[in-house]
Structure 1
Amino acid sequence: MTQPSTKPLSGIRIVDFTRFFAGPYCAQLLGDLGADVVKVELPVTGDPLRTQGPPFFADNGITWYATNRNKRSITLDLQAESGRAVARDLCLKADVVLENFRPSVMTRLGLDYASLSAQAPRLVYASISGFGPDGPDAEQGAFDLTIQALGGYMSITGESTGAPIKLGTSAFDMLAGMNCQTAIIAALLQRATTGRGQHVTTSLLESEVAFLANAALEYLITGTEPLKWGSEHAQQVPYKAFRTADGWAVIGAGFQKFYAAFCAILSRDDLVTDPRYSTMAVRVTNRDELYAILDAEVLKFTTIDIIASLERARVPCARVNNMREVFDLAQVKHRGLRIELDHPSYGTVPTLGPAARYSQFDITAGWTAPPQLGEHTTEILSEWLGYPSERIEALRSAQIV
């Protein structure tokens, strides 16, 4: 098996000051690729995600485990001058500093990019914020919920006659983390050529607005506000979730050959020749009338029967699975999308497998379970900074670490 030392970010040191979701998720992705990620946490309480719940596992909130594998934890009181001095030492030994505070916080702590890069010009410094590093709203805080509303996604999510709906996960926290990961890797790649680091920034708002994609262009080009379509498609019919006799199935039969095959399964070939529904364009125009017919027909089938018939006819379709059904899928099991990580203190915890694989290294090799609070404090201070045991004990006695 390929060893962790062959991973592309092996040898890269990252000081992770982030908390909550976006920043920790970014740092986790970098740790997956072999970086040595040191997570700096407050003494006693740590990252607020540790106390978010229920549910809890081994005294931590469940979301903690979704964002903190492949890291080492050090506790550090950044409100104390001696704590900030330790933090500065860590940063000056690092390749990457990652933070997700409001833009003024790291400057106040003396840990901003300008201060650190003056001594460490090769440093890559990454900032994730709610709204970006400058501008009229730069100092505002944000949660994924508020950004989904402000940045437009909730206006296009949900059923056409229903209330605005938040996406089912903290999607733009994760997207901002993914964007930041990409930016960090790009900055490290450029550093290999120029010898200099740089400051990279992203935000929840920028990540969301950039992700509006075709919905935004519909407005920018036509001046028309995109509508909420639920599971439907603005330009394809039929294309949505249908209720079956015992559940739900999504069916994407907008294109003509798929539509004809779908109607044949329903024994409704008349819907193919009916001039109100015979082409995609007229089906889009007359969607409500057509869906009233198709909804009633699909309701006569069980989910397994309609899916089997559609799959034989090669019509795009899928059952709407819950979490148990997702992780029972043979393909999910085959691709290793559930992994078990072992921790010496709290035992085994599941994690999700990687979304991308590589032919030259095993990305999951050497993965470690999320750490306990301050688990690696002594180790990091000794290994990274060469602090003698007496100094470490003095810091601990003063409750700095």
Structure 2
Amino acid sequence: MTGALAGYRVLEFAHMMQGPWAGEMLADMGADVIKVEHPSGGERGRGSGTDRLREESLFYLAMNRNKRSIALDLKSPEGREVARRLVGSADVIVENFRPGVLDRLGLGYEDVRAINPKIIYCSATGYGTGPDAADKPGQDLLAQALTGTMWLTGTERDGPLPCGLFVADTHAATMIAFGVASALLHRERTGVGQRLEIDLVGAVLHLQTQELVTYLNTGRRPGRWHVGGHPYLEPTYGVYRAADGFVALSLVPLDGLLAALGLEPPDGVPISFDPDTSRYVRRAHRIYEEKLQPLVADRLRERPVADWVELLEERGLWCAPVLDYPEAAEHPLVDLPARTAEVTHPRAGAVRLVRNPLSLSETPPSVRSHPPLLGEHTAAVLGELGYSAEEIERLGEAGVVDAGHGAQRGAQ
């Protein structure tokens, strides 16, 4: 089947996660995504992360399948001319350099729109394009720190903690893909391109919609409790230690939990609260933590996780075992083999990748090709732009492009 975005060309001037993962989502849906990278080393993501598969960064491999790579020196006049010809063939540009970088190279929005008036141009930054943002490094951990996200994670004893995932990058990337698809639909209807902007701070604030709306309309700073849960939900919500691991309790009524565990509340301690009162959550949490949480925690430590999950599920109480990756891979609800795909990479060999979770009956996302080697498709892309073999060879000799370096080094 043909992907929903087949026939559209996306130029990706991007590095690390925010831009490249958006590019991968668009490529999964069939778009022809061309990574434009510097001939010397390529985009920074090729060296990111601590783990390698036969010297290839696993972070890079995770976010760059289904793309083509052209190695191009944008600081050279001839390199910029190649880029301008690429722009003329493109439908979309995705870039996540600091504000002003592509403008200085003659590839800013106004420059590009003069070449291709229908272009959809997406700029992804750390903090937007204001005067105070341009020189600051935009990175996921810093966005979490600035936006209150860390304050919601962890317990009162721990202090603020970062999320285990790069939540700002991942949501920003998803919003880029959503925005590009929306802009393409608008262009199909009107013939008009447009500029898109997204920043890490805005993305992670958007992820906190429920929590921020609660704060903005009550003025109440989120609490931090002894059990790692949620500041605006029932006090039982959280993660507890069992005899052999951890169990997560979701929206579990306190009276139902106590009954399931065979516990009686101490005399005079309420087990239900009026949620319409303004101090409901804080009062419920404090009473629970001081009077009941120690009893619940001690009881849950007495038996293995599987016993508690079985008992609680029989009573209709929402819970789940807390699993690590090896355990999650074996769980039937996770079904990891069905949610992954394997590609053969010229250097790394067999690489297992996570599938796009969307299921479309007519235009499903697909995993079609390995993450590209640096410059693997330079000659092919230049040929599509009308460059002759002799011109490509000359550009390669001048260092303007790498027309085979990556592919040759990675050949099997």
Q: TM-score, normalization: structure 1?
A: 0.92
SS in 2 for 1:336: helix
Deviation at 1:344, TM superposition (A): 4.5
Distance 2:332 2:374 in 1: 36
SS in 2 for 1:149: helix
Deviation at 1:371, TM superposition (A): 1.1
Deviation at 1:92, TM superposition (A): 1.4
- Other-structure match for 2:82: 86
- Other-structure match for 2:195: 199
Contact residue 102 and residue 138 of structure 1 kept, 8 A: yes
Deviation at 1:59, TM superposition (A): 2.1
Contact residue 252 and residue 318 of structure 2 kept, 8 A: no
- Other-structure match for 2:218: 222
Residue among 67, 72, 76 paired with 1:76: 72
1:126 to 2:119 alignment: no
Deviation at 1:227, TM superposition (A): 2.5
- Other-structure match for 1:232: 229
- Other-structure match for 1:370: 371
Residue type matched to 1:277 in 2? P
Residue type matched to 1:68 in 2? N
Deviation at 1:61, TM superposition (A): 1.5
Distance 2:370 2:273 in 1: 51
Deviation at 1:283, TM superposition (A): 4.2
Unaligned runs of 5+ in 2: 275-282, 402-412
- Other-structure match for 1:379: 380
- Other-structure match for 1:395: 395
Q: 1:350 to 1:334 in 2, by over 3 A?
A: closer
Distance 1:391 1:33 in 2: 33
Map 1:27-176 → 2, pairs under 5 A: 27-176=23-172
- Other-structure match for 1:358: 360
Deviation at 1:210, TM superposition (A): 2.1
1:295 to 2:297 alignment: yes
SS in 2 for 1:245: coil
SS in 2 for 1:368: coil
Contact residue 130 and residue 204 of structure 1 kept, 8 A: yes
Residue among 239, 245, 270 paired with 1:241: 239
SS in 2 for 1:277: coil
Instruction: Return 320-329 or 15-24, whichever deviates more.
Output: 320-329
Deviation at 1:329, TM superposition (A): 1.8
- Other-structure match for 2:331: 329
Unaligned runs of 5+ in 1: none
Contact residue 16 and residue 48 of structure 2 kept, 8 A: no
Q: TM-score, normalization: structure 2?
A: 0.90
Contact residue 10 and residue 92 of structure 2 kept, 8 A: yes
Contact residue 10 and residue 35 of structure 1 kept, 8 A: yes
Deviation at 1:312, TM superposition (A): 1.5
Distance 2:135 2:95 in 1: 15
Deviation at 1:260, TM superposition (A): 3.9
Q: 1:277 to 1:342 in 2, by over 3 A?
A: farther
Per-residue CA distance 1:55-89 (angstroms, 9 max, x = gap): 11132211111211111111011111111111111
Per-residue CA distance 1:176-204 (angstroms, 9 max, x = gap): 11111111111111001111111100000
Contact residue 50 and residue 59 of structure 1 kept, 8 A: no
Distance 2:300 2:348 in 1: 48
Deviation at 1:280, TM superposition (A): 4.1
Root-mean-square deviation (Å) = 1.8
Deviation at 1:334, TM superposition (A): 7.1
Deviation at 1:265, TM superposition (A): 2.8
Distance 1:346 1:224 in 2: 51
